[in-house]
């Protein structure tokens, strides 16, 4: 990938078990021609040695803010200016919290404050730590500052838990780094119609836990929401995606906040929408959740199983009800009476626009690469015929932009 040739990437490593992956990350980035400098925290050195990172990077490893020799040349400022991208992998809950608060009590956090380079973090922690309110607040704060959130992934963790929290694998991180540089390489020629705007887009399904191994969900793949995010970003907007669990690659140069449940998505949506220009609610959010989640796996001891369900909050309606609200676009996935239900939601939820599709039609909607939409505003109806979700997303972003300008 020649896109990385000669690029200056500073890799920040913090104290998590996923630090064992970083020598391989350095090797793969160097294979593509990147120049790599490594900064380690004290905690990181408990998992991987500076000597190892020095050997694979070909450069000395920086690990102290108070290194008298390095600071003769103001080493922390030199590193901050040298980098054209800073990637923190793994990014522990502690590191995320300190960067979100603007602390500068070690070399890595000081560099993050002193640099003009883009910053990306690859979270890595126990699944409960990832879902903790404090961590999610810190991640949301970083995403609002255009820090790229790469991950976390889902799976079995070192502690034995299963869920979101694993650092993305090396090939995924290399791909995201390449996407970052590709987007910047093409940015002088991209449209800038949305320059200065901040779009927030929800995408994918939510999962409502029944017990530690079971959940209620739906067939959403996230493809439509991610395509809209990419189209908005290509048109010049700063884009944040609040994504339920999906298996597709994040769009280029978009911030992604990964969530699991409807309540998590609701919390982040309201937080991110406060400073948004446009909010697009494309996620297929579960309407109901289980009132009491079983602490242990439910055994098949009974012929029948009853679940008590309670209604989830209406994310798009709550965003539309904000005192300072963004231009708000809803989605309606229907199987019948599409116009009736879509117009009802448009009025009842006080939306600016709603995009409706018939998911009962073969070859479009959930899990398909194609889709067709009927877009309703308060004054008109526009049909967008069946095409790829990428092309459809570009058409929808254009419609939103046109309608938005009329409403101002």
Residue 276, pLDDT score: 93
Give the single-character DSSP code of 219.
-
Tell me if 2-189 shares its fold with 193-408: yes
pLDDT digits (tens, 9 = 90+) for 130-176: 888 899 888 888 887 888 888 888 777 777 777 778 899 999 899 88
- Residue 72, pLDDT score: 44
Q: Where are the domains of the chain?
A: 2-189, 193-408
- At residue 407, the pLDDT reads 67
Strand partners, 328: 279
Q: What are the residues facing 295 on neighbouring strands?
A: none
Scan for tokens 């640099």, then name that residue: 115
State the pLDDT at residue 310.
96
In the prediction, which pLDDT does 249 show?
83
Per-residue confidence (pLDDT) for residue 193, from 0 to 100: 77
**What does the alpha-carbon distance between residue 3 and residue 1 come to, in Å, rounded to a whole number?**
5
Taking CB atoms within 8 Å and a gap of at least 24, the contacts of 294-302 are 294/210, 294/211, 294/212, 295/211, 295/212, 296/211, 296/212, 297/211, 297/212, 297/213, 297/214, 298/210, 298/211, 298/214
Tens of pLDDT, residues 275-319: 899 999 999 999 999 999 998 988 887 678 889 999 999 999 999
Per-residue pLDDT in tens (0 to 9) along the chain, 408 residues: 578 988 999 999 999 999 999 999 999 999 999 999 999 999 999 999 999 999 999 999 998 876 655 544 445 678 888 999 999 999 999 999 999 999 988 999 999 998 989 999 999 998 889 888 899 888 888 887 888 888 888 777 777 777 778 899 999 899 889 888 876 664 444 455 788 899 999 999 999 999 999 999 998 999 999 999 999 998 889 999 999 999 888 887 788 999 999 999 999 999 999 889 999 999 999 999 999 999 898 888 767 888 999 999 999 999 999 999 999 999 988 878 888 889 999 999 999 999 998 876 766 666 677 888 899 988 888 888 888 888 889 899 999 998 887 666
Homologous superfamily of the 193-408 domain (CATH): CoaB-like (3.40.50.10300)
What kind of fold does domain 2-189 have according to CATH?
Rossmann fold (3.40.50)
In the chain, the percentage of residues whose pLDDT exceeds 70 is: 92
Q: How far apart are CA 226 and CA 220, in angstroms?
A: 12
Active site residues: 159
Kindly list the distances between the CA atom of residue 145 and the CA atoms of 3, 148, 270, 305, 366, in Å, as whole numbers in the listed order: 25, 9, 16, 46, 32
What's this model's pTM, rounded to 2 decimal places? 0.59
CA torsion angle 234 238 240 246 (round to 10): 20
Element (DSSP H or E) covering residue 112? helix 107-114
Give, in order, the Cα–Cα distances in Å from 40 to each of 67, 170, 203, 408. 13, 18, 35, 48
User: Degrees (nearest 5) of the Cα angle 393, 394, 396?
Assistant: 65
The C-alpha atoms of residue 145 and residue 100 are separated, in whole angstroms, by 9
* Cα→Cα distances 237→192, 196, 268, Å: 8, 6, 19
Burial class (CB in 10 A: 0-12, 13-18, 19+), 39: buried
48, burial (CB in 10 Å: exposed 0-12, middle 13-18, buried 19+)? buried
pLDDT for position 367: 63
Q: What is the pLDDT of residue 73?
A: 45
pLDDT at 23: 96
Structure confidence at residue 1 (pLDDT): 52
């Amino acid at each position: 990938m020649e896109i990385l040739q000669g690029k200056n990437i500073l890799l920040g490593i913090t104290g998590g078990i996923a630090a064992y992956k970083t020598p391989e990350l350095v090797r793969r980035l160097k294979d593509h021609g990147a120049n790599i400098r490594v900064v380690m925290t004290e905690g990181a050195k408990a998992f991987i040695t500076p000597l190892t990172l020095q050997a694979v990077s070909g450069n000395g490893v920086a690990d102290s803010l108070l290194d008298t020799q390095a600071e003769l040349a103001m080493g922390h400022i030199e590193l901050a200016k040298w980098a054209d991208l800073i990637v923190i992998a793994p990014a522990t809950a502690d590191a995320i919290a300190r960067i979100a608060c603007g602390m500068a009590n070690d070399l890595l956090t000081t560099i993050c404050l002193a640099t003009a380079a883009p910053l990306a973090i690859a979270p890595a922690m126990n699944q409960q730590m990832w879902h903790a309110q404090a961590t999610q607040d810190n991640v949301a704060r970083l995403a609002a500052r255009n820090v790229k959130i790469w991950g976390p992934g889902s799976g079995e963790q070192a502690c034995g838990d299963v869920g979101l929290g694993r650092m993305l694998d090396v090939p995924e991180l290399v791909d995201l780094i390449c996407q970052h540089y590709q987007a910047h390489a093409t940015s002088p020629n991209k449209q800038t119609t949305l320059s200065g705007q901040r779009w927030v887009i929800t995408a994918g399904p939510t999962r409502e836990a029944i017990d530690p191994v079971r959940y209620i969900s739906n067939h959403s793949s996230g493809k439509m929401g991610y395509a809209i995010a990419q189209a908005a970003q290509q048109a010049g907007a700063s884009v944040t995606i609040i994504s339920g669990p999906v298996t597709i690659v994040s769009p280029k140069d978009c911030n992604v906040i990964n969530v699991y449940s409807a309540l998590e998505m609701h919390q982040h949506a309201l937080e991110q929408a406060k400073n948004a220009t446009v909010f697009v609610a494309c996620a297929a959010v579960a309407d109901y959740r289980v009132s009491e989640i079983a602490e242990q796996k439910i055994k098949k001891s009974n012929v029948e199983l009853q679940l008590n369900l309670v209604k989830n909050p209406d994310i798009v309606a709550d965003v539309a009800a904000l005192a300072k609200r963004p231009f708000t676009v809803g989605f309606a996935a229907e199987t019948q009476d599409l116009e009736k239900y879509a117009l009802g939601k448009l009025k009842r939820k006080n939306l600016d626009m709603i995009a409706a599709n018939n998911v009962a039609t073969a070859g479009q909607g959930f899990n398909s690469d194609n889709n067709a939409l009927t877009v309703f505003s308060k004054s008109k109806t526009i049909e967008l015929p069946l095409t790829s979700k990428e092309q459809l997303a570009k058409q929808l972003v254009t419609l939103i932009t046109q309608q938005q300008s009329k409403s101002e």
